Structure 1
């Protein structure tokens, strides 16, 4: 894996752009500056790796815009040792960010070719979350509860299964809306009967697939 001075310089400029856009969590910025995002791209598309935009990775999925990754991660308030469920493994980039922050990451992917590819590829880079194939809209009850859950696809509603799999005090970050635009939500589980909801700016994600997602 080549990570040249040129790549590092491009990452520094990207991180500066994220700061200018309002990302303040220094730990998030630091790990994103360390992770070689270009290795998640085919060589032919290398010039796109450090642009602040989403990029297709096949099977109707994208590698999220760096700002989106940073924003969702910042909302999660990740602490070392957190047990985190990621819905939508995709390229594995978001999982790499969470692992680098010291989290114990469980990640689930609905598209089998992506699951098989990323399960092999990500550990080769030194990032080893626990990989699962299946319907992420149902969460991953077998390994619950989780301190944090992050959803990297747009959902029509908040799947109740995800809230039930959070610890008390746990956080769910999820984009909710229609097929075009979603509001980013941060839901904090105060108790089984009380959820605190915060609503943030508009985003545009690929649709969440599965029983509680878009059919």
Structure 2
């Protein structure tokens, strides 16, 4: 059994969503990893480690990224807002489940945006270069929102763009030096649960870290 097949078997026991598991098996992560690091795409030693994708950014570790998408409970036809496109790998997984036309992905960094645009050329995804911390009003409301960078506080601008009972998965600063991964369900009283401690880069922009 190849290392890639071992990784598939490992995640098949962890992923709750059959649709996400099928997408994980269809989308080849190797295509989204820069040339010097392609051999690490399905390395068992790197399941919990980030891989560089540009001079400024790493991709979210595979185990954490897949867990975050699983927490979203993605369904076919869901309208999804993604903050931080990165290499486009997780964007492609989302698109495989919900349909590319239903995905709105925002990237703040021009180098990452250009990389993702090239990697996602086969998908009909709405890729936007801009300030993801304030969301994307034009296409609201969203069924699901996922954020790949840590918000300094509760991300209300994004929460306001969720449908009622919509789900957001987002890292939030718990203190100056600690971050938590949170699942938030919108309602009259928001349901908020901390899933784990995490380490993400800071969310840039008007409603993020502007410095």
Task: State TM-score, norm by structure 1.
Answer: 0.87
Q: 1:35 aligns with which of 27, 37, 44?
A: 27
1:198 shift after superposition: 1.3
The residue aligned with 1:203 is 198
The residue aligned with 2:104 is 106
Q: Indicate whether 1:118 and 2:111 are aligned.
A: no
Q: Is the 8 A contact 1:60 1:206 kept in 2?
A: no
1:117 shift after superposition: 2.6
Task: List per-residue Cα deviations over 1:15-63 (Å, max 9, x = no partner).
Answer: 223345x433232222112211011122322221113121111242111
1:83 shift after superposition: 0.2
Question: Structure 1: which 5+ residue stretches go unaligned?
Answer: 1-5
Q: Indicate whether 1:186 and 2:183 are aligned.
A: yes
Question: Structure 2: which 5+ residue stretches go unaligned?
Answer: none
Q: 2:163 aligns with which of 167, 183, 195?
A: 167
**Aligned equivalents of 2:30 and 2:154: distance in 1?**
32
**Aligned equivalents of 2:129 and 2:35: distance in 1?**
27
Query: Aligned residues, how many?
Result: 203
1:142 shift after superposition: 1.4
Look up the SS of the partner of 2:190 in the other structure: strand
**Aligned equivalents of 2:57 and 2:164: distance in 1?**
32
Q: 2:10 aligns with which of 11, 14, 17?
A: 17
1:179 shift after superposition: 6.7
Q: Indicate whether 1:136 and 2:132 are aligned.
A: yes
